[in-house]
Amino acid sequence: MADIIQLLPDHVANQIAAGEVVQRPASVVKELLENAVDAGAATIQLIVKDGGKTLIQVVDDGIGMSPTDARLSFERHATSKIRSAEDLFKLHTKGFRGEALASIAAIAHVEMHTRPKDEEVGTHLKMEGSTVVSQEVVVTPTGTSIAVKNLFYNIPARRNFLKSNQVEFRHITDEFHRVALAHPGINFYFFHNGSELFHLTAHSLKKRIVQIFGHKTDEKLVPVREETQVVTIGGFICKPSFAKKSRGEQFFFVNDRFIKSPYLHHAILSAFEGLIKPEAHPGYFLYLTVDPTSIDINIHPTKTEIKFDDEHTLYAILRSAVKHSLGQFHLTPSLDFEKDQNLETPYAYQHKEAHLPGVSVDPGFNPFAETTTRSATGRLYKKGSAEGWENLYMGLESKASREESFSSVHYESETISGSIFPHAEVQEENDTTTFQLRRKYIVTTIRSGMLIIDQSRAHQRVLYEKFLRSMTLKETLSQQLLFPISLSLSKGEMAILKDMKDHLHALGFIFGEQWEEQLLIKGLPPMIGEKEAEKVLDQLISECSMESSSTNFSQSDMLAKALSKSLSVKTGALLDNVSQLALVNDLFACKETLLSPFNKPIFITLSENEIDKKFN
C-alpha cells in the first residue's frame, strides 16, 4: 500500500495558520500594533485605506531590525520573545507565537522598511504569498514600517466573506482603541483614507479615555483602586446613570493586554445589581495586574482569552472593589440603622434657640359646669347635662338620604397610557370587537374562532414596513424643531452617523452643523419626541456598530428594525379600544403578517373546534 500521509508545503501551512490568526483586516491591525509596542516605540502611526482591504500600514520608531532579523521574522515560529517552554508562563510582551507575520505574508502583499538605531541604512523587504520577491538596502528612518496590501488576494473565498468597508473599519477602530487604552504613555496616530481620525498624545489613563470617547466621558468616570497579594486593580467604572442597552465601553486589561472574560464581566454586573436596569450594561475600563506565572495566555490564537489559576478569588476581589468605589463616591443608597432619626434636628430649627415649654392652668375651670357647644352639624347642645345626649344624634341623615349621597360617588379608574393611533376615529363602546389581555395581547374574534395578537410584535411589524417604505420611496415627513437639539458624540459615533446620514434623512431626521464632537438636530420624524431623540440615536448607533452585510439594503433594513424595536408599544402599555382595533387593521394591511421583523410569531389562532374540545 502506498503512503498517503505527507507534510504540507510551507505556504499551505501558513495559509491554514492564517485562517486562525488573520480573520479580517482588524486582526492584521492588532498584530502589527502589538509588534510596534513590543519594539519599544514612543510613537505609532496606523494608516488604513478602504476598511483595510487595500492597505494597512503601521509605522513605529522602535528598535528596528537587522537584515537577518527582518528576513527571519516572516518564518513560522520565529520569535525573539521565547527561548524555552518555561518562558510561556512569564510573558511580559504582546506577541510571542511567531505566527503573525508569517500568516499575514501568506495571504497578502507585504513591504517592510526597517532600520536599527545604531545603523546608517536599513532594509527593504518585499513578499508576496510567503515568497520573498526582493530584499535590498535602503535609506529609511529608525524603526519599522510594515505595509500590508490586497489582503486575501490569493484566497478569493475568504475575501468574499469580508463585510462592507464601513463594518471592517469599525472593527479596526475597536482594535485601535484596545491597544491605545492599554498603553496611554505612547503617542498614537490613526489615518483612514487620507484623513486623520485620532491624534492621541501620551497622557494619563483618564485623559486617554477622554481623548478616545469624547469630553462627555469625563463626567461618567469613577476611579477604582484596590491592591491585594493576588491582584492589583485600577482604572475606572462608569456611573450607573450612564448605563447603556448596548455593550459599548467595556474593557478588561490584564498585564496591559486586552482580554474578554464573561466570568469577570459577571462580577461587574453583580456589583451593579440594583443600581441599573436588568437590560442595561455598565461601562468600565479596568486594569488588572497579576503575577505572569498565575495566568495562561497561550490558549487562543488571538490571545484575547486568559486562563487564571484562581478565578473565584479574583471574582470576589473585583466585585468588592467595584462596590467599594460605588459606595465611596455616594453612587449607592446607604442606610444607617444605628442612627435614630428622631434625634436629628430638623433643618428649619437648626439655628433656633431652645425654649422651655410653658404650662397654662385655668383655676376657674369646672368640668361639671353646664356649657353650650356647637356640634359638627351646626346645632347647639349642652355639655355636662344628662338631658343633652339626644342632641348628639340630631341632624344625622336617614338611610335613604345616605344611599342617595353614595349613588353620586365616582370611583377613580385606571388611566389609559397608550394611544398609539391618536388620529383614529372614536368608536362607540358597543362596536368594540377587541380587548386587551394582561396588557400584552390583543384578543379579537374571527369567523373561525379567536385571534390572539402580541401587541408589541404587531406594532414592530407595522413600523418596520412603514420605515422601509419611507427609505425606499424617500417620501417622509419631518417635524421642525423650534430649538435644535445638541448631541455630544465621540469620533467613532460621529463616523457611524455619517455613514447612515442618507437613510436617516429619508426617515425624517434633519441634521444641522457638525463639529468634532457635537451634532445639531433640527428635525425629527413625527413619531419621535424631542426627549426620545438622543435615546433613539444612541440605540441606532449601537445597532450599527454590530455586524451587517455590505449591501445598502441591509443597512436600511437594520435601521428599520432598530427604529421599530425602539418606538413600538411595549408590553405593559394599556391601549384603548380604538388603538387596539387600529393596530389589528394596520397589521393585516402589511405585506407580512405572520412574523415580526425579528422572525418571531405575531399571533396565534384558536378555532371554534379547539375551544369546544376544551369543554369535553
Task: Give the per-residue pLDDT at 551.
Answer: 42
Computed over every residue of the chain, the mean pLDDT equals 80
Q: Residue 136: in which H helix or E strand, if any?
A: strand 131-138
Average pLDDT over residues 102-130: 90
* Measured distance CA(188)–CA(180) in Å, rounded: 7
Query: What per-residue confidence (pLDDT) applies to 554?
Result: 66
Q: Are 67 and 89 in contact (CB under 8 A)?
A: no
Least confident piece of the model among 61-65, 334-338, 487-491, 510-514: 334-338
User: Exposure of 114 by Cβ count < 10 A (0-12 exposed, 13-18 middle, 19+ buried)?
Assistant: buried
State the greatest distance between any 2 C-alpha atoms of the chain, in Å, as a whole number. 133
Residue 89: all three cell numbers together: 508562563
The pTM is what?
0.70
Pick the CATH number of 10-202 from 3.90.420.10, 3.30.565.10, 3.30.200.20, 1.10.3720.10: 3.30.565.10
Per-residue pLDDT at 411: 47
Q: Which helix (H) or strand (E) element contains residue 307?
A: strand 307-308
Indicate if the pLDDT at residue 171 is higher than 50.
yes
Q: Residue 202: what pLDDT?
A: 92
* 3-state DSSP assignment of residue 386: helix
Measured from the Cβ of residue 495, the count of other Cβ atoms closer than 10 Å reads 17
Return the CATH number of the domain spanning residue range 213-327: 3.30.230.10
Helix (H) or strand (E) holding 106: helix 100-106
- Asked if pLDDT for residue 426 goes beyond 50, the answer is no
Cβ–Cβ under 8 Å, residues 503 and 473: no
Overall CATH class of domain 431-604: alpha beta
- The whole-angstrom separation of Cα 154 and Cα 141 is 31
Q: What is the pLDDT of residues 558-571, one digit of tens each?
A: 888 888 888 899 88
CA angle 608, 610, 615 (to 5 degrees): 95
Which of 77-81, 305-309, 408-412, 578-582 has the lowest average pLDDT?
A: 408-412
- pLDDT of 371 > 70? The answer is no
pLDDT score for 550? 40
User: Is the Cβ–Cβ distance between 147 and 55 less than 8 Å?
Assistant: yes
Q: Is pLDDT of 161 > 90?
A: no
Of the chain, the percentage scoring pLDDT greater than 90 comes to: 29
Running DSSP on this structure, what letter comes out for residue 370? -
φ, ψ for residue 168, nearest 5 deg? -65, -35
List residues bridging with 519 in a β-sheet. Answer: 487, 514
More confident call, 382 vs 472: 472
Higher-scoring residue by pLDDT: 433, 381? 433
Stretch among 166-170, 426-430, 589-593 having the lowest mean pLDDT: 426-430
| Residue of higher predicted confidence among 246 and 174 | 174
What residues contact residue 141 under an 8 Å CB cut-off, 6+ apart?
A: 61, 115
Domain ranges of the chain: 10-202, 213-327, 431-604
3-state secondary structure 516-571: CCEEEEEEECCCCCHHHHHHHHHHHHHHHCCCCCCCHHHHHHHHHHHHHHHHCCCC
Q: How confident is the model at residue 548 (pLDDT cuts 50, 70, 90)?
A: very low
Read off the pLDDT of residues 597-613 as tens digits, 9 standing for 90 and up: 989 999 999 988 888 88
Q: 75-84: per-residue pLDDT in tens?
A: 877 666 665 6
| Eight-class DSSP state of 415 | P
Question: Could you report the per-residue pLDDT of 479-517, keeping only the tens digit for each?
Answer: 888 888 888 777 777 877 877 888 888 888 888 877 667
The predicted pLDDT at position 349 comes to: 65
Rounded to whole angstroms, the Cα distance separating 362 from 437 reads 67
Mind listing the pLDDT tens digit for each residue in 237-260? Answer: 999 988 887 777 899 999 888 988
Measured CA distances, 277 to 224, 245, 272, 327, 502 (Å): 22, 9, 9, 18, 33
Confidence of residue 29 (pLDDT cuts 50, 70, 90): very high
